[in-house]
Amino acid sequence: MVRGDGDAILEALLVPAGPEADVESAVERVNGGLPEYARIGACRLVPPFTPASGLLTGNGRMRRSAINRAHPKETAADKFFDRLISETKGDQARFAMTPQLLAGLTGQISRSDYIAYLTQAFHHVRHTVPLMREARAALAERGNPMLVEALDNYIVEETGHEEWILDDIETAGGDRDAASRSDPAPATKAMVDHAYATIRDGNPAAFFGMVFVLEGTSVALASHGASAVQRRLGLPNTAFRYLNSHGALDQDHMKFFESLMNRVDDPSDQSAIVEMAKDMFRLFGGMFGGIEIEGVRDAA
């Protein structure tokens, strides 16, 4: 969507065709064929406009007023949480166009696809609490009681969630023991390794950038993907314990997370959280992209 009537420049809200889309070159190419007054002067990458989000009509027309409300013109953000969202929107938009993620959100996956996703989820979720404990220890050494207390709460609530995933694998017809003994995919291992390295060798506050990405994604998967997949596969509710329970939990977590981030006032901590979020959108997208999905493979 292009907007800016009466403004000094036109702004385009662009949905990338895929995670690696060269948007800048595309804009430059389009501008080359337009008169100066019609050229795009600024652009932002945004997640897809969909009827489910209220940004498209049922027949695919853009709801411009709704899009403007969802993506207001940017001003200098006073609160850190708002700045975190603003500075990672492009990364989130590229992540949102990962074909495997789109297939999951729309329910276009098979039972084996769902089990493959759960297996990779197990391999990163089983590191959630160990990562939190390492981040907590490092932040305690730095004398950051606010973030330490937050991690204490997260640790209590996140303990044992990898077992939920194994239960879902078994209920969906998979082999929970084989999943737990399997090796993570290279992309999943790369994501987990990056998180450990950042906590150990960088600023441990960066861990909250990972929280921002993973919890926001689990809310989206639970609210849009789980029911669509369940309808397609005809699986019982007990095969979606992780997604459904985690989605509801993370909706509450995100409210707490917003309040927590708005109390982070150290510029170095803020920068570390933003950079980790950017990294995690890329790495988490790589994890999804590494899962062989039948529908994606057939389309290719």
pLDDT band of residue 25 (cuts 50, 70, 90) is very high
Residue after which a domain boundary falls, among 70, 91, 126:
70
What is the mean predicted confidence (pLDDT) over 273-278? 98
**Pair (181, 32) in one structural domain:** no
Q: Residue 59 belongs to what domain range?
A: 2-70
pLDDT (tens digit per residue) in 168-222: 999 999 999 999 999 999 999 999 999 999 999 999 999 999 999 998 887 777 7
In DSSP notation, 232-257 reads: HHT--GGG-HHHHHHHHHHHHHHHHH
What is the mean predicted confidence (pLDDT) over 264-274? 97
What is the mean predicted confidence (pLDDT) over 258-263? 94
**Pair (45, 111) in one structural domain:** no
What is the mean predicted confidence (pLDDT) over 38-54? 88
| pLDDT score of 248 | 58
Supply the mean pLDDT for the chain: 90
**Pair (119, 242) in one structural domain:** yes
What is the C-alpha to C-alpha distance for residues 111 and 96, in angstroms, rounded to an integer? 22
**Pair (84, 175) in one structural domain:** yes
Q: What's the pTM value of the predicted model, to 2 decimals? A: 0.84
**Pair (52, 84) in one structural domain:** no
Q: Give every CB contact of residue 154 below 8 A, 6+ residues apart in sequence.
A: 132, 211, 253
| pLDDT score of 299 | 47
| pLDDT score of 247 | 61
pLDDT over 60 at 249, yes or no = no
Lowest mean pLDDT among 54-58, 158-162, 166-170, 294-298: 294-298
| pLDDT score of 250 | 58
If one compares 130 and 69, the residue with the highest pLDDT of the two is: 130
| pLDDT score of 294 | 72
> Pick from 106, 137, 121, 127: which is nearest to 225 by CA?
106
In DSSP notation, 22-41 reads: -HHHHHHHHHTTS-GGGSEE
pLDDT (tens digit per residue) in 58-85: 898 999 999 998 888 876 567 999 999 9
Judge whether 250 lies within some domain.
yes
Judge whether 60 lies within some domain.
yes
Judge whether 75 lies within some domain.
no
**Pair (45, 93) in one structural domain:** no
Total structural domains within the chain: 2
What is the C-alpha to C-alpha distance for residues 35 and 250, in angstroms, rounded to an integer? 47
| Range 26-31 contact pairs with CB under 8 angstroms and sequence separation of 24 or more | none
**Pair (98, 173) in one structural domain:** yes
**Pair (32, 58) in one structural domain:** yes
Specify the DSSP class assigned to residue 206: G
Judge whether 123 lies within some domain.
yes
pLDDT over 60 at 296, yes or no = no
| pLDDT score of 300 | 47
**Pair (6, 131) in one structural domain:** no
| Range 67-76 contact pairs with CB under 8 angstroms and sequence separation of 24 or more | 67/1, 67/13, 68/3, 71/13, 71/44, 71/46, 73/11, 74/44
pLDDT band of residue 295 (cuts 50, 70, 90) is low
What is the C-alpha to C-alpha distance for residues 59 and 237, in angstroms, rounded to an integer? 31
> Pick from 156, 147, 151: which is nearest to 263 by CA?
147
Q: In what order do the strands lie in the sheet with 40-45?
A: 2-3, 10-14, 40-45
Distance of CA 40 to the CA centre of its chain: 28
What is the C-alpha to C-alpha distance for residues 158 and 156, in angstroms, rounded to an integer? 6
Q: What is the CATH number of the domain that holds 158?
A: 1.20.910.10
Residue 177: count other Cβ atoms within 10 Å of its Cβ.
11
Judge whether 246 lies within some domain.
yes
What is the mean predicted confidence (pLDDT) over 37-47? 89
**Pair (52, 92) in one structural domain:** no
pLDDT (tens digit per residue) in 217-237: 877 777 677 888 888 899 999
**Pair (228, 155) in one structural domain:** yes
pLDDT (tens digit per residue) in 98-129: 999 888 888 889 999 999 999 999 999 999 99
If one compares 75 and 47, the residue with the highest pLDDT of the two is: 47
Judge whether 116 lies within some domain.
yes
